[in-house]
Amino acid sequence: MSLEASPRTRAAGAAYSVAAYLIWGLLPLYFLLLVPTGPWEVVAARVVFSLVFCLLLLTVARGWRRIMAIIRQPRLLAWTALAGVLIYVNWQVFLIGTLSGHVVETALGYFINPITTVLLGVFVLRERIRRLQWVAIGVAVVAVVVIIVAYGSFPWIALSLTASFGTYGLIKKKIGPAVDAVSGLTLESFWLLPIAVVQLIIVAQTTGITFGTVSTWHTVLMLFAGIATAVPLLLFASGARRINLTVIGMIQFITPIMQFLTGVLLLHEPMPPERWIGFVIVWIAVGVFVIDLLRAGRRGRRTRVAPVA
């Protein structure tokens, strides 16, 4: 499918992406329901149950022919392996942040992530961005520096999340329609299966496996970890193939807003003045992006309705 897609295709891509980011915005609350399960066991469960869910989808949708075609192409297989490693890093850091009381910092990572996405689109995919978008990037860089200097700690959770998922999105964009969403996530989960098994063995020998030992409700929630993981990733992959990386960058703000509100209002995580200053600067960058997006949208509408000379 051409990257210069029809308006209907672009609208579908935007809808898929919005749905993905809404689900991701709710995930901190979902994973907090899995306590006392630790982040290493949860990530292993996400890998195993995501793979099972994807195998079921492949069978129901008769997608085995597509995945076999991908397996016969070593280059595509290598891309799916790299994507798997990146999404594993993202999952693990996100769970460590969520289950250790750092939901606000995960939100910071996803506030910065759209800017990382836009930069990757510019420097790797040669996508063009406008002047106001460059201003927003500069403001976001200032925000990160302020948080590091004023707050006195390096936001490794935030920056790891934005680096891993930003690069993951780039890889999904480069693979494009050559790897459909279900086949891609199936292969990514397959590559991560050995890591998941090792993690489960280590957890079993240290803190102990909690799956099936807490309550029926807890076991059901653990089983649904695969669906909660796979569905937004499949939606994201479907959206990334249909719209520009810069548009995805704008839509991504849904997730950090939801996560920030969760951390501050529901979980009552600390927000000293230094952190508020950093976040306010980040929100200024977000505001610049939104203003630019609205201006570009108005220009696009005027161009479409302009009479032909």
Residues 46-64 have pLDDT tens digits of 999 999 999 999 999 888 9
Q: Regarding predicted confidence, which is higher, 260 or 121?
A: 260
Residue with tokens 């935030």: 158
Average pLDDT of span 29-36: 94
> If you count them, how many residues does the chain have?
309
Number of domains in the chain: 1
Residue 238 pLDDT class (50, 70, 90 cuts): confident
As a whole number of Å, the end-to-end CA separation of the chain is: 31
- Residue 309 pLDDT: 36
Instruction: Decide if 236 contacts 13 (C-beta within 8 A).
Output: no
Q: Residue 2 domain-assigned?
A: no
Q: Within a domain: residue 247?
A: yes
pLDDT at 5: 62
Chain segment 242-251, per-residue pLDDT in tens: 887 667 767 8
Per-residue confidence band for 262, with pLDDT thresholds at 50, 70 and 90? very high
**252 or 44, higher pLDDT:** 44
* Residue 67, C-beta contacts closer than 8 angstroms, at least 6 positions apart: 58, 183, 186, 187
The encoded tokens of residue 126 equal: 């040669």
pLDDT tens digits for range 77-86: 999 999 999 9
**Would you say residue 79 lies in a domain?**
yes
For the chain, the helix, strand and coil percentages under 3-state DSSP, each to the nearest 5: 80, 0, 20
* CA angle (12, 13, 17) in 5-degree steps: 115
- What values do phi and psi take at 6, rounded to 5? -70, 160
Q: Give the mean pLDDT of 292-296.
A: 72
pLDDT at 1: 41
Residue 51 in domain: yes
Give the per-residue pLDDT at 297: 62
pLDDT per residue as tens digits for the range 94-148: 999 999 999 999 998 888 887 787 788 788 877 777 788 788 888 888 887 887 7
Q: What is the mean pLDDT of the segment spanning 279-308?
A: 70
Distance between CA 148 and CA 100 in Å, rounded? 20
pLDDT at residue 211, rounded to an integer: 94
Q: What is the per-residue burial (b if ≥16 Cβ within 10 Å, else e) of 183-209?
A: bbbbbbbbbbeebbeebbeebeeeeee
**Residue 163's domain spans which residues?**
7-304
Mean pLDDT value across the chain: 86
Does a structural domain hold residue 144? yes
pLDDT reading at 71 higher than 50 = yes
Q: Under 8 Å CB-to-CB from 237, ≥6 apart: which residues?
A: 172, 180, 181, 184, 185
pLDDT at 94: 95
* pLDDT at 2 > cutoff 60: no
In a domain, 262, yes or no: yes
Tell me if 1 is assigned to some domain.
no
Question: What percent of the chain shows pLDDT beyond 90?
Answer: 47
Confidence of residue 23 (pLDDT cuts 50, 70, 90): very high
The answer to whether residues 177 and 234 touch, using CB atoms and an 8 Å cutoff, is no
309 is a domain residue: no
- The position carrying tokens 């990334």 is 240
- The DSSP code for 177 is G
Burial of 34 by CB count in 10 Å (0-12 exposed, 13-18 middle, 19+ buried)? buried
Diameter of the chain measured on Cα atoms = 75
Q: Is 7 strand, coil or helix? A: helix
CA distance 25 to 27: 6
User: Rounded to an integer, what distance in angstroms lies between the CA atom of residue 218 and that of residue 16?
Assistant: 29
